[in-house]
Chains A and B, each alone.
Chain A
């Protein structure tokens, strides 16, 4: 018999339908993967099981957990289930813990509440649990506060809270989305082990098909609040019977077509190959340490450490690395939004490090940027015309308003938007469309280099595939060089000629994209490659296991 049975579940919040006729079940010891793009209702399904929905929510249908009718249960009954029989892990580890309570208090709290154990007993059990999730007492005493822990460590604490009482069902809502691939692999391993140890049922919610394929026995695919397809993970994904399943799987593995590629001969000095577009020489960026007392500061943090590299025109280079490795700082240095502590950065032969805005004008014309967050990168108070036209500020001759509209219209057309969109506000666009706007803004001055900082990581897979195509097309058509900053190796593989791997502020490996990703040499690169979820590989392994 199933542990969790959801039948014909529909949900509306304030009259807006969110879920329709959801069917789902989880057995003890089983991992059920719940996959869907944003707005598909994955998280709402989880919150319905927990009965933690806003009070305006109305659910109908059947949700049975271990013989208890969840939808009819009283709040007291639910309190008894939550944290004891059902545990939950959330997406954002940085904010999921109470900043003013120690990790010991927070893990022990649920234990004391449910078992009425004494403080000492609860703390002992909390200690054992923290040991189990990989936070040993020597480094992580119970008296630690959340702000003293990193994101991955905090997620371990959240897991310890959820699993402290060995729940029958664990719900993990995007538990690794906020973490880098290496941490993701570690957390997934931990979850897998905990499930096996305690014969828990695990409902794993994710937007990432590869992650779910690696973890889940069975899979349920949601779209717009409805179940598209459900079944055995390996069979569902290898057969791809449902068109939406096929669409998702293909988008996850999408590689844009690129005819021309730009490669720099291995071992040959760069200058012989072509005139470099960008040269970064022995660049270091230190951030002053924290003030520890009135007169002392701790040692400065070195975000970028003696980095040198160069790029030629039209080349697409990926800068990959774990979070905090210094890749975004390096991007800002290249964009002259930050000054290096030492070293030189030359763009088209012109020195750009530490120059005034006036001196940077010509460099700015030829160098643009696309940011990660399609929502935060536009001033909500301005219309698209002004936003997209913003870089025209650096032109020698300011275009008049008719010319400006003309240029904006052209840029919008190039990114697949209508010139009519010029008079709209950014909030009238979807996430994918906004990223197109972002690209339109970046190409309006016909730059030679675009620095893109995680430009697709906030997008759903199908949208992501379209945006990658757009990037690839513009590279071919306009010959724009890209410096792509990403933690996602699939993105790097899809769109770049070369990869640079960054670790602890240094570039530890550089080479042709396929070579680095298939045969990584450095330890940092190997760690990234092994940890990165890969849909092909995951399906193949699933099928092998079943034979």
Chain B
């Protein structure tokens, strides 16, 4: 098992290093001089050159990469070109919106999808299954930002139950803040839940065709007990894989959803930074999101080993 975990860990670290190189390289080739951008068109060439030196833009590429990467490790992301504050401060401000949003959405999606998947697999081919899977089929097809607009129209414009956008901040209290996250979380979660429910159902049905399910039935266990005791755990592996992938989707989804709801989260930060060419912010936030995805995938790999004893003893 240690070998398996070490291998996974090594792969995660290698991917992270490669990803940081890619992010760094991509933003290096972007046209436009950040120093010129900060000083404006009226600045003289000498002024620009001076700032370039100050910003370290004239040192060799490899050195700059190392400097940047070691900064990342100590959470020193540098200073934002446009806001002139440390990037870490910007991130800290925004992450308290994005992270809870992504986590609530993930929890919501899982809590809806797994029971629906179990329900459907247990009633395969019957009316309940057909209705649930029809709804899921529809859910998969709905773009989350359009769904968000419809939610706003229904709950904020019509029923006036929740605010249509904006975020009051956690300082005003947990409840108003959560209330502002409810619609965005639902908009993010439901399309994902639809996908997850379909995967759960098909994984369960696949497992239910296995020989050991028949062995369990021949023991005298009723169908429901077989589903819970034997099928569910075996079906968890594809479900975990999709959960891992969905985390990446949710992170990306927050970028658009935060724009729909005017939430001051990381997604909006990166989007604004791109339009303002604030590269250091873009680099940092993208790296942060990529690191989050890689860590979540590592956790998924670890959970495989918990679910499946064959992985624990092999490799």
Contacts and interface: CB of A to CB of B under 8 A. Distances in A.
Interface string B282-311: 000000000000000000000000011110
A98 B220 contact: no
Contacts of B233: 100-101
B3 A100 contact: no
B220 A79 contact: yes
Q: Is the interface of B mostly helix, strand, loop or mixed?
A: helix
Contacts of A114: 220
A147 B214 contact: no
Contact of B309 (A84, A88, A145): A145
Contact of B3 (A76, A147, A292): A292
B210 A95 contact: yes
B3 A109 contact: no
B209 to A, nearest CB: 11
B219 A293 contact: no
A97 interface: yes
Contact of A96 (B215, B220, B222, B308): B215
B212 A294 contact: no
A291 interface: yes
Given A52-B214, A90-B215, A99 B222 contact: no
A79 B211 contact: no
Contacts, number: 90
Nearest to B212: A98
A325 interface: no
Nearest to B6: A294
A13 to B, nearest CB: 15
B171 interface: no
Most buried by A among B3, B218, B308, B314: B218
Contacts of A161: 215, 219
A148 interface: yes
Interface string A84-123: 1001101010011111110000100110011000000000
Interface residues of B, number: 30
B222 A98 contact: no
A88 B218 CA distance: 6
B216 interface: yes
A393 interface: no
A95 B212 contact: yes
Nearest to A52: B217
A139 to B, nearest CB: 16
Nearest to A100: B233
Nearest to B10: A294
A275 interface: no
A291 B3 contact: yes
Interface string A48-87: 0010100000000000000000000001100111111001
Contact of B310 (A90, A99, A162): A99
B7 A294 contact: yes
A287 to B, nearest CB: 15
Q: How large is the interface on A (under 10, 10 to 19, 20 to 34, 35 or more residues)?
A: 35 or more
A195 interface: no
Contact of B222 (A75, A90, A97, A292): A75
Most buried by B among A52, A81, A96, A98: A98
Interface in B257-271: none
A114 B217 CA distance: 13
Contacts of B221: 79, 83, 109-110, 113
Interface string A310-350: 00000000000000000000000000000000000000000
Contacts of B58: none
Given A145-B310, A148-B313, A82 B218 contact: yes
B255 to A, nearest CB: 38
A97 B211 CA distance: 7
Contacts of A519: none
A242 interface: no
B212 A97 contact: yes
A290 interface: yes
B3 A96 contact: no
Nearest to B215: A96
B241 to A, nearest CB: 16
B309 A87 contact: no
B52 interface: no
A100 B308 contact: yes
Most buried by A among B215, B219, B223, B315: B219
Interface in A356-410: none
Contact of A81 (B211, B220, B230, B309): B220
A244 to B, nearest CB: 30
Contacts of B202: none
B220 to A, nearest CB: 3
Contacts of B218: 50, 52, 82-83, 87-88, 90, 162
B2 interface: yes
Interface string A464-500: 0000000000000000000000000000000000000
B234 interface: yes
Contacts of A293: 2-3, 6
Contacts of A99: 212, 234, 308-310
B228 to A, nearest CB: 12
A70 to B, nearest CB: 14
A75 B222 CA distance: 8
A161 B215 CA distance: 9
A357 B182 CA distance: 65
A147 B313 contact: yes
11 contacts: A50-B218, A52-B217, A52-B218, A83-B221, A90-B214, A96-B211, A96-B214, A99-B309, A100-B307, A110-B220, A113-B220
Given A52-B214, A75-B223, A293-B2, 13 more contacts: A84-B220, A90-B211, A96-B212, A96-B214, A96-B215, A98-B234, A109-B216, A109-B221, A147-B309, A147-B313, A161-B215, A293-B3, A294-B6
9 A-B pairs closest in CB distance: A83-B220, A83-B219, A110-B219, A95-B211, A82-B220, A88-B218, A98-B212, A145-B309, A293-B3
Interface of A: 50, 52, 75-76, 79-84, 87-88, 90, 92, 95-101, 106, 109-110, 113-114, 145, 147-148, 158, 161-162, 290-294
